[in-house]
Structure formats: structure tokens, C-alpha cells
A and B are shown apart, each in its own frame.
Chain A
Amino acid sequence: MIIYSEYSLKFSIRFFMSVFLSSLGSVAYAGDTEKPQLHEHSAIKMTMQGGRAPEKSRSPHAYADGLSLSSGPYSLSGVPRIKMADEHSFWATTFNRFEVVNADPGDFGRFDGQAWFGRTYNRMVIKAEGEVANGALTESATELLFSHAIASFWDIQSGIRHDTSEGPARDWLALGFQGLAPYWFEIDGAVYLGEQGRSMLQIEVEYELLFTQRLILQPRFETTIYGQNDEDAGVGSGLSRVSAGVRLRYEFTRQIAPYVGVEWSGKYGSTADLSRAEGRDVHDTMLVAGVRFWF
């Protein structure tokens, strides 16, 4: 069982890394040395995006002749040089899900937000996700990450994560990526390493389907895979949880959009066994209603 789960974790990592890399264009480009044909758009696109700079590509500093923005002839003394927004920090807080979930044992609340602060390519990111029932936090995952842009559409993120649940709290080191895959799939995935050899892989995929400019359907898929059993936390190794849902929102403004949706979730493998042993359902279909907002 342990061997299987390690294999599945490695396989999954390899699988999503290859998806990730090919979406950067670098893998595809490296193997594509032929001159693109005029009518082969898909071959051409690989050279239009991503890839590695050819060794002899032009330096962006080639025309400076050693001058800099703050020194050299005619530079102003005692006057700070002009600064644009590329040297300013921005921030935003986004709640993609902020909802009431209609579930069998009883309704509960769920939040799923992200906040970032920083410049274009390097940011601090906080991700917070959790469930609230009867006024108390029943489950939560909070991450503090440094996010660094490595490709046109991709950031790598590293940091720490703290989980709470009915069982013991768990701390993790996080290494993941977030970005936009071809065909506009928003992907957020990470590998987590915990104490005592614990490991976890989580992937979220979202898509947006515009019925109108304001009525938007958001399919969402999420899966969690664990590297080993952690019975105290109620999880078993291997594929543990899958959830898939659709949320239909109406953007009164870009920043405030109420929604309704339905979500299906299932537990698998030894995680499902643990649930069954406790007499809980392993599959669930829930209605959700909430508001997506950012500020």
C-alpha cells in the first residue's frame, strides 16, 4: 500500500510537472528546431511564447554604452530618478469562494481566499481556506508563500502551510505553482512536505465560461493525494479526495458577484475506509450559495 502510494505520488508529480513544463513551451520548443511552416499555426505558436533565449540573442542593455539611469552625462544630482509603477507595490484580496454549503449533517460555511502584496514578478501571497460550522472553525488550511514569476503565465510559490481539523494540527513546507494553462485553465498546484515523512499533493483547476459579460459559469475541480496514512487527521495514503463543482455567478460589478452552485465530493482509498469506519458518507452532493468578491 505504501509502495503504491509513493508510486502514485511520484507519478502524479511527474505528470503535472510535464503538463506544466509543456505549457511553458520550453519542452516543445527545445525539440522543435525546424523552421516553422507558414500555415502551421500550432508549430509557430511555440516560438511566439515561452522558450529559452537563444545564446546570441540581443542584450537589452546593448545600447547603453555603460550609462545607467542615475549616472553618466546629464544625470541630475540631488534629484531622485523617475520611478514608474513597475517599482511600486500593489495588493489585492480575493475571495473566490465565500459560501454556505447545504450538506447532510448540517449546513456549514466555507471560505477560500487569497491575498497578495508586491510588484509584478515577486509577491507575498496568503492563501486561506476553511470551513465553519456552528460558529466554530472546523477545518482550515492557511499558507504564507513567496510567489515568483518564472514564465509568462506561471508563478512558483514556496512557503509554509498550517492545517487545523478535528484531529491534530499539521504543518507543512509548500512548493507549488499557480498560473494559466493553455485554453485559459487556471491551475493552482502544490506539493507539501510535513513532519514524520508526511507528504501531500493538491491540485485545483478552474475555468470560466461566459454566458454573457456578467453571467459566468465557473467549473472547479480539486484533488488531494497523500503520501502516507495519517489516521489522526482522518486521511489515508493515495488518492484521498476529489471534488468537482460548478458555480454560476452574476457579476454586478467585477468585484462583487453572488453565485449559486452545486458541488460533488468523494473520498477514495484508505481515506474513504477511515470515513466508512466512522460511519460517515464517502460521497456527497451539496448545494452552495455565496458571493465571490475582491478588493
Chain B
Amino acid sequence: MNWKKPALFDFPGVSRRRFVQGLAAGGAVAAIPTSTWAKSTRAAAYTSVPVLAGREFDLVISPIAVNYTGRARMATAINGSIPAPTLIWREGETVTLRVTNKLSVPTSIHWHGILLPFGMDGVPGISYGGIAPGETFTYRFKVQQSGTYWYHSHTGFQEMTGMYGSIVVQPAIGDALKTQRDYVVQLSDWTDEHPMSVFARLKTQSDYYNFNQPTVADFVADVSTKGVKQALSIRKMWNEMRMSPRDLADVSAHTFTYLMNGATPSANWSGLYSRGEKVRLRFINGSSNTFYDVRIPGAPLTVIQADGQNIEPVTVDEFRFGPGETYDVIVEPKDDAHSIFAQSMDRTGYACGTLTTRAGLSAPVPRLDKPEPLTMTDMMGAMSHEAPGTDKNNKPGLMTNHDGMKMDHAGMAMDHGGMTMDHSQHSGKAHEMPLATPSRTVNHASTEYGPSTDMRVDMPRTNLDDPGVGLRNNGRRVLTLSDLHTIGGAMDPRLPEREVELHLTGNMERYSWSFDGLEFGASTPVHFRHGERLRVILQNDTMMTHPMHLHGMWSELENDRGEFVARRHTIAVQPAQRISFQVTADALGRWAWHCHLLFHMDAGMFREVVVS
């Protein structure tokens, strides 16, 4: 370990030792002998997530034997650890990371959410050539931000086999928030199968891992409670369109074991605290394909950071996050033990650990919620007359350019069309500055009408206050995007000079995912002009939620009135939702931009962005 700069651990009220002991203690608790895990071949490696701090780091990537399920498997580890060591950096310092590949195949490391020169971003074939077997690549860049981030392989499915770790960047001066305990809680998912086999199975049968499909019994139950007519009418549109309302996740607990800091629920990762202490939990979704719904029964979560950026604290019972996203929360546990419960969005399994005052204690683990089917809102957005959201600003009435002749006459379809449509909603100011608010006119790409795309949304919803399927009206206060307010506002006061509209598309039957109906291999880059402030509109024309991650630059999420919401590196776009964010294109080079559900990315929901 690298202890060059002890000041790095200057958590107010917490000594550096305590921080490290916290993580170590958590790991040790996880090794309770009753767990199947303790007997495994990797018990020694997982008992604590190592912490490395300083300016210089040596990371070695090698295969490692693991056993999460009772079956021995090979995984990919960094410094012999899964998760990889937690890296502690300090804002303003230059870090050097020497990464040595001891695998028999090429590898890479991407620093997720970190602003850096594009050659240091770690995407093989875009930022550099990757790291060949036996070679060492040296990353060196100045850390320009603080907060919670993570790192992972960007090669093949290596991330899914164990190559992920967390990064904590201390602010240049102190930390505004005083907590006595500080833990990273990194969630992931593990499969005993080869990831490519899982992908290939989905390619052959896309509902392979879905054991929650509508059955005859469901139909009979609906008939008995709702009557034949209603039961048929619920199913009519879904079946006509060949879409399944039960399609909540591509990969389920049928093959996944859900991990918290590398520990299975039975291994029970634990974080210690003393009564009366505040605990900071840095939640990182480092999973490959899993959205998690996280809560700590008996302890409300005060969310203070999203994607490493401080937000105005907001207290909730639960939050959902997708692969790539991070949320820092403060909790003040009252009891001796609380479960940290993270159920998968499809409700097939969960990751779980414990916050406790004494090693070895555990709290009741909540039951999995019943899976809720997708609604018409998830399929049709604002066109649906169901209204599960409570948002008053969700204005239906968006038009597509093929719904009427208006759009075709508009010439510069997007901007002018948007103006025409939005007259009634714009203030006088907006008339002078047409890009003050995001365009509401839906423009499908010509390539969305072919075999790659199984549906298009003509009237998307633009509200940000929907917690999403399975979390609506569940009796708990659930975080939504509209709850986020990054402290300090937008980083660039300029209005966007132009809009770039892209649609998230897919075909579940073919298990194909894309932007604009075009997979990566057939695509061309999206060009950002150096120095410009632009607006990116993402419309989700699928029935799955996609955590969209733009490398190299912040995505500054705004609402449908063009008001700044939050600075993110990964934004989850819900089914039939249209969101927009602004980007300051200040990072020259080539960057990856993709869905962070690893299988969606690999299926082609991926674009290259060129800033020049």
C-alpha cells in the first residue's frame, strides 16, 4: 500500500486508520464461519477489500479462483481482490497508475466518471490499444474532481468476471460533510456461467432467464377478479405488439448471485458503527446487468451525492440505480443492526449486508417485493391515459413528424418545429432564445423503421418524478431524478447552441440493442464541436431502463423546461421517457458513450463521440 500522504485520509472526525479498519472490519465480519462462503477457495481474498491511497499505484490483473455458489470458477481480479482495491485519491493531485496484465488476453481499465485526457480513458480501440498480455500500461492524469467513482475493465465481459473497484476522491480542502463512519458499498452481480454463453443464450432465446412470464393461471386469476373482457383487454395490446409486460430484466437470479462488496447475502458484508454515529455509505452500482433498489429498513437515507457530485441533501426511504451510477447517503442507524437491502429490479434476488454495532449481528432481511408488470406508461409514455406519475408538468401532446404535415413543412424540422409546437408553453424569453427549452418534437431516425427496432414511442413522457416500474406507490419515499439538485448549479451558464437527438432502441426478440436503430458497428461518430455547449436529447423507444454513460464530459441533466437538475456521468432513462442533458464539449478526443447494462452495450447500444 501507498501511504505517501496521510493527509489524504482527513475525514473530519475520522482518522485514516478508522477508515481503513472500517472496510477491513466489514470484510472480516463477512467471514462468519456459518456461511458457505467461508469454506470457499477465495475466502482469504474477499475478507476485506484492500484500500490503496496516494499518488502512485501498481495494479496487477490476473486470473483467480473463486467460489460464490459452491462451484469453483475462474474470475478476473485486480491485485488478487474482488472487488478490486479501493483507490483513494485527492483532488488536484496527479495520479500515476501502472497496470500490468497477467492474463492471457488483452485487458484495460476505465476510470468511470473521471475527467481526464482521452488517451487515459481506457477504452480499447477508442482511447488506446488496450493492454496486451504481459504488458504494463501507465495511466497518468490530474484529478480534477472529488467524490465517489469507480473503475472497471472495458474489455469484453471482464468487468462481469470481477474487474471492478471503487475510487474515493477527497476534496482538495477537507470534506464538507462530517460523518464518523465512511464505507464504500459496491454492488455487483456474479454468474457461474461464461458471460459470453449467457449473451449467446439471450441471442437464441431472449427470455431465457425470465421465469416470471404471464401464464394461463395469471389469466384465470384476472378473469376471476376482473372479468373476461377486462382480462382480455389488458392483454390485447401487449400481445398484439409481441411485447411482454413482464420483461423487467434480461438476466435474473436464475444465473446471477448478487454481491455487496464482493460478499453474497449469506456471507453478509457488515459495516460497523457506534450508537449515535452518522454513517456515510458510498453506494456504487458496479454490476454488469442489474438495476438495484436499495433501502435500509429503519434508517432513512439522506442522499448527499449523485455520481460524485454534491447535491442538496434529500431524505428518502429507497433509491433505484443502474450499472455505473453512484449515490452517497448518510444514515443514522438507531438499532444495533440494520439490513442494507438491495433487491434487483426484476425482484428475483437481492444483495444484502448489515450495518451493525457489533460484529456478527444481523437484522431481519426484508422479503422481495412482488414483481410489478410494466404499464402502458412504460410502453407509450404520455400517450397512455394511465397516469402513475404525479407530475403536473407532464404535458402530453408531443407530436411526431409523421403524425401530421406540419413537421414536413418546417424545413429545419427540429428547432423550428419544436418552436411551433411549443408556442403555448414558452415564455416570452423562450421566443428570443429557441433553445432555452428542449425540443419536444419527436424525430425518429430513418433506421428506426427496420428490423433492429421493435417499437417507437411517438408521445414520450418527459417528467422526471417517476420512480419507475415496481416502485410506484409502494408506500416508501423513493428517490427520483427530480429530487436531485446539484449544489452550485450548472457548470456552464451558456444556452446550448444546438440539439442532438438520439433514440435508444432495441429488438427484444432478436436481442439487439442500439442507438437510432443502428448498432455500433454500422454507426458513425457523434461529433461535438470543441468548446460548444450543446443539448443532448435521449428518447427511450424501448421498454427497458437504460443507464446511459457518456465518457469524458459531464452530462448536466435538465428538466423539460430546460432547468438544470443534476450533474451526472450516468443517467438512467426510463421506458418511453425523453430526457435531455447539456454538455460542455471541452474534452478533445474520442470518447465512448453507451448503455452501461453490459449486454446492451455489447449488443450495440454504443456510440463514439468525437470532440474536435
**A contact residues vs B (CB 8 Å cutoff):** 35-36, 38-39, 41-42, 44-45, 47-61, 63-65, 67-69, 72-76, 78-87, 90, 92, 94, 120-121, 149-154, 180, 182-184, 209-214, 254, 294
**Could you tell me the distance between the alpha carbons of A210 and B207 in the complex, rounded to whole angstroms?**
13
Nearest 3 A/B pairs, CB to CB: A82-B125, A86-B519, A64-B524
A213 — which chain B residues lie within 8 A by C-beta?
Answer: 211-213, 215
Q: Which of B230-250 contact A (CB under 8 A)?
A: 236-237, 239-242
Q: Which residues of B contact A (CB under 8 A)?
A: 118, 123-126, 128-129, 199-201, 203-205, 208, 211-217, 236-237, 239-242, 376, 379-380, 383, 385, 396, 400-404, 407-408, 413-414, 443-458, 500-502, 507, 509-512, 514-527, 588-590, 592, 601-604, 606, 608, 610, 612
Beyond contacts A41-B236, A294-B204: 9 other A-B pairs, Cβ-Cβ < 8 A, are A45-B237, A53-B444, A57-B448, A61-B524, A76-B129, A83-B521, A84-B604, A152-B451, A153-B454
Decide if A149 touches B521 in the complex (CB within 8 Å).
no
Kindly list chain A residues whose C-beta atoms are within 8 Å of the C-beta of B454: 49, 152-153
Pair A212/B601 contact, Cβ less than 8 Å? no
Listed residue (A35, A51, A63, A67) with the most chain B CB atoms within 10 angstroms of its CB: A63
- 26 A-B pairs with CB atoms under 8 Å apart are A38-B396, A41-B380, A42-B240, A45-B241, A47-B400, A53-B447, A54-B401, A54-B408, A60-B445, A60-B518, A60-B523, A61-B524, A63-B502, A69-B523, A74-B589, A76-B590, A80-B125, A87-B520, A90-B200, A151-B450, A182-B242, A211-B215, A211-B217, A212-B217, A213-B213, A214-B211
CA distance A182 to B610 in the complex (A): 41
Chain B residue nearest to A57 in the complex (CB): B446
| Contact assessment for A81 and B216 in the assembled complex, using a CB-CB cutoff below 8 Å | no
**Contact for B446 among A60, A153, A212, A294, CB less than 8 A:** A60
The residue on A at minimum CB distance from B516 is A60
Asked if B453 and A152 sit within 8 Å, CB to CB, the answer is: yes
In Å, the complex CA distance between A52 and B216 comes to: 36
Question: Are A64 and B525 also in contact (CB < 8 A) when A38-B385, A210-B214 are?
Answer: yes
Whether B590 pairs with A74 at a CB distance below 8 angstroms is yes
Q: Which residues of B contact A38 (CB under 8 A)?
A: 383, 385, 396
C-alpha gap A85/B604 in the complex (Å) = 7
Closest to B239 in A: A183
How far, in Å, is B340 (CB) from chain A's closest CB? 30
Interface pair A84/B401, CB less than 8 Å apart: no
User: How far, in Å, is A83 (CB) from chain B's closest CB?
Assistant: 7
Instruction: Name the distance in Å between B579's Cβ and chain A's nearest Cβ.
Output: 18
Shortest distance from the beta carbon of B607 to any chain A beta carbon, whole Å:
9
Q: A151: nearest residue on chain B (CB-CB)?
A: B451
Residue in B217, B385, B501, B521 whose CB lies within 8 Å of A84: B521
Whether A63 pairs with B527 at a CB distance below 8 angstroms is yes
Residues of chain B within 8 A (CB-CB) of A50 are: 449
Q: Residue B203 contacts which of A65, A90, A121, A210 (CB distance < 8 angstroms)?
A: A90
Q: A45: which B residues are within 8 A, CB to CB?
A: 237, 240-241
Specify which of A41, A76, A184 is in contact with B237 (CB 8 Å cutoff): A41
* Contact status of A86 and B520, CB under 8 A, knowing A47-B403, A53-B449: yes
Q: From A92, which residue of chain B is reached at the shortest CB distance?
A: B204
Give the complex CA separation of A151 and B608 in angstroms.
Answer: 27
Asked whether, in the complex, the Cβ of A64 is within 8 Å of the Cβ of B527, the reply is yes
Q: Return the chain A residue nearest B447 by Cβ.
A: A60
In the complex, the chain B residue whose C-beta lies closest to that of A80 is B125
* A67 proximity list for chain B (CB < 8 A): 524-525, 527, 610
Known interface pairs A68-B524, A74-B589, A210-B214; A85-B602 also in contact (CB < 8 Å): yes
Interface of A is mostly: loop
Q: What's the minimum C-beta distance from A251 to chain B, rounded to whole angstroms? A: 10
- Is A85 in contact with B199, judged by CB distance below 8 angstroms? yes
Closest B residue to A154 by beta carbon equals B451
| Minimum C-beta distance from B528 to chain A (A) | 9
A243, B447: Cα distance in complex, Å: 40
Interface centre among A73, A92, A94 (most CB of B within 10 A): A73
Structural contact, A82 and B453, CB atoms closer than 8 A:
no
Cβ-neighbour of A48 out of B380, B401, B408, B452 (below 8 A): B380
Known contacts A69-B523, A79-B129, A151-B451; is-contact A48 B217 (Cβ 8 Å): no
> Which residues of B lie under 8 Å from residue A36 when comparing CB positions?
383, 403, 458
Residues of A within 8 A of B383 (CB): 36, 38, 44
Q: Which residues of A contact B443 (CB under 8 A)?
A: 57-58
A230 to B241, CA, bound (A): 41
Q: CB distance A53 to B527 under 8 Å?
A: no
B524 touches A56 (CB 8 A): no
Nearest CB of B to A20, in Å? 14
CA distance A30 to B213 in the complex (A): 34
Residue of A nearest to B199 (CB): A85
Residues of A within 8 A of B606 (CB): 84
Contact B444 A57 (CB under 8 A): yes
Nearest CB of chain A from residue B497's CB, rounded to whole Å: 13
Chain A residues near B240 (CB-CB < 8 A): 42, 45, 182-183
Complex Cα spacing A152 to B211, Å:
24
**Cross-chain contact of A52 among B241, B449, B456, B512 (Cβ < 8 A):** B449
Cβ–Cβ contact A59 & B446, under 8 A: yes
Min Cβ gap A137→B in Å is 27
CB of B237 within 8 A of CB of A86, answer no
B-side contacts of A54, CB under 8 Å: 401-402, 408
Closest approach, in angstroms, between the C-beta of A127 and any C-beta of chain B? 16
Q: Are A44 and B603 CB-contacts (below 8 A) given A53-B448, A212-B215?
A: no
Give chain B residues whose Cβ lies under 8 Å from the Cβ of A82: 123-126, 520, 592
Contact of B525 among A47, A72, A184 (CB under 8 A): A72
| Min distance, Cβ B569 to any Cβ of chain A, angstroms | 19
Please measure, in the bound complex, the distance between the C-alpha atom of A36 and the C-alpha atom of B458, giving whole angstroms.
Answer: 10
User: Quick one: which of A82, A154, A210 has the most chain B CB within 10 A?
Assistant: A82
Q: What B residues does A35 contact at CB under 8 A?
A: 403-404
> Are A56's CB and B408's CB within 8 A?
yes
**Chain A contacts for B511, CB-based, 8 A:** 120
| CB proximity of B42 to chain A, nearest CB, Å | 27
Q: How far is B518's CA from A153's CA once the two chains are assembled, in angstroms?
A: 16
What is the distance, in angstroms, from A263's C-beta to the closest C-beta of chain B? 21
Q: Are A42 and B237 within 8 A (Cβ)?
A: yes
- List the A side residues contacting B239 at CB < 8 Å: 182-184
Flag if B604 contacts A69 (CB, 8 Å): no
The closest CB in chain A to the CB of B603 belongs to A85
In the complex, A100→B579 CA distance in Å?
56
Q: Which of B205, B501, B590 is packed against the most chain A CB atoms within 10 Å?
A: B590
Cβ of A27 to closest chain B Cβ, rounded Å: 14
Q: Are A74 and B448 in contact (CB under 8 A)?
A: no
Q: How far is the CB of A23 from chain B (nearest CB, A)?
A: 9
Chain B contacts of A83 at CB under 8 A? 125, 521
On whether the beta carbons of A59 and B445 are closer than 8 Å, the reply is yes
Q: Chain A contacts of B526 at CB under 8 A? A: 63-64
Q: B601's contact among A41, A81, A84, by CB below 8 Å, is which?
A: A84
Residues of chain B with a CB closer than 8 A to A214's CB = 211
B96 to chain A, nearest CB (A): 22
Contact of A180 among B242, B458, B525 (CB under 8 A): B242
Q: In the complex, what residues of B have CB within 8 A of residue A180's CB?
A: 242, 509
